[in-house]
A and B are shown apart, each in its own frame.
Chain A
Amino acid sequence: MAEVMRSETLNISNNTSSLASPELLHVLAVDDSIVDRKFIERLLRVSSCKVTVVDSATRALQYLGLDGDNNSVGFEDLKINLIMTDYSMPGMTGYELLKKIKESSAFREIPVVIMSSENILPRIDRCLEEGAEDFLLKPVKLADVKRLRDSLLKAEERVFKNIMHKRELEANDIFSQLKRAKI
């Protein structure tokens, strides 16, 4: 009985945070403009984020393993905390990328932010309806990224607290059971 108890506690303490590393958000940025890619990469680095930048929605899907060839096998360890994508891109748009991500069981929980140089209300509504976390008007500012980061870290903190609380309840439950079984 004591053996079982030990392995239970081991399971409980693993992997409580989905952050790539303590306080470091891993952001996947998607933009077809080389100027914007350079800019957003630096913006995110300065904001203490780990960054992966790709130049198309297709490449983003490849990176996530959603391009049909891989079907997310072996991509469970890929820790992305945020996807930021340009809206207007040749080939697949940011909106279509958003839809594909929300359709995927592996990645639908990842917040997706759409960036666009055009302030078109129906476009914004459509993206938000499809589950976008936020819609940023380009050019993106440091303050925008800071705001995003703060709100995501708060959300992570809430999730973390919920998980810890749940595990506390589970541990209490196991303890009660053991008491009843008079170990």
Chain B
Amino acid sequence: MNTVVAKLQRQFQDYLVSLYQQGFLDNQFTELRKLQDEGTPDFVAEVVSLFFDDCSKLINSMSRSLERPENVDFKQVDSGVHQLKGSSSSVGARRVKNVCISFKECCDVQNREGCLRCLQQVDYEYKMLKTKLQDLFNLEKQIVQAGGAIPQVNIN
């Protein structure tokens, strides 16, 4: 029914807007959505999936580098942070990216404790975003299943 679709679309729109308002996402996510169409309905989901895999992998390797206080490979950690910052920036994962900025600062001054805190925070943030986006994609699926179109959402 039309009203079911309209309700779902409204839900989707409100949820997406809230993700931007709460700082989980930034303008780059909008750019990602622009690249998706009926022919490639899973594009955004695929890219963020690659991003989350990347996060997991990088966090694990940085964790290993930070493990022994007497033998921290800050160069490796710095490289990991750089990559994480880059990919979070590319998908619009704003909070993750911001943690990376602090993370880099801790790395630059070889602050192991600071790095460990940032590592924990980045882990938390990417997992949080993963859950939020899963909810968003589920709403998308419901809209499509109900025969509706995904709304174009204009942020600011």
A138 and B35 form a contact (CB under 8 A): no
Q: How far is the CB of B33 from chain A (nearest CB, A)?
A: 11
- The answer to whether A43 has its CB under 8 Å from any CB of chain B is yes
Instruction: Give residues of chain A (22-51) contacting chain B, Cβ–Cβ below 8 Å.
Output: 33-36, 38-39, 42-43, 46
Chain A contacts of B31 at CB under 8 A? 139, 141-142
Q: Is the CB of A33 within 8 A of B34?
A: no
B 106-134 to A, binary, CB cutoff 8 A, 1 in contact else 0:
00000000000000000000000000000
CB distance from A163 to the nearest CB of B (A): 35
Residues of A within 8 A of B50 (CB): 34-35, 38
Please tell me the number of chain A residues within 8 Å of chain B, measured between CB atoms: 15
Q: Does B137 lie at the interface of the complex (its beta carbon under 8 Å from any beta carbon of A)?
A: no
Write the nearest CB–CB distance from A78 to chain B, whole angstroms.
Answer: 27
How many contacts between A and B, using CB within 8 angstroms? 48
B40 contacts the other chain (Cβ, under 8 Å)?
yes
Check: B54 CB closer than 8 A to any chain A CB: yes
In the complex, A36→B91 CA distance in Å?
9
State the interface size on chain B (CB cutoff 8 A).
21
Does the CB pair A35–B91 fall under 8 Å? yes
**Could you say which residues of chain B place their CB within 8 Å of the CB of A142?**
31, 34-35
Nearest CB of chain B from residue A72's CB, rounded to whole Å: 32
Interface string of A1-36 (1 = CB under 8 A from B): 000000000000000000000000000000001111
Please name the residue on chain A nearest to B83 by beta carbon. A33
A70 contacts partner chain B, Cβ-Cβ < 8 Å: no
Is there an interface contact between B35 and A42, defined as CB atoms closer than 8 Å? yes
Interface status of A119 (Cβ within 8 A of chain B): no
- CB contacts under 8 Å to A, within B91-106, are 91-92
Task: Please give me the residue from chain B that is nearest to A43 by CB atom.
Answer: B35
Docked Cα-Cα span, A42 to B54, in Å, equals 19
Across the interface, which residues of B come within 8 angstroms of A39, CB to CB?
32, 35, 47, 90-91
Identify the A interface with B (CB < 8 A).
33-36, 38-39, 42-43, 46, 88, 117, 138-139, 141-142
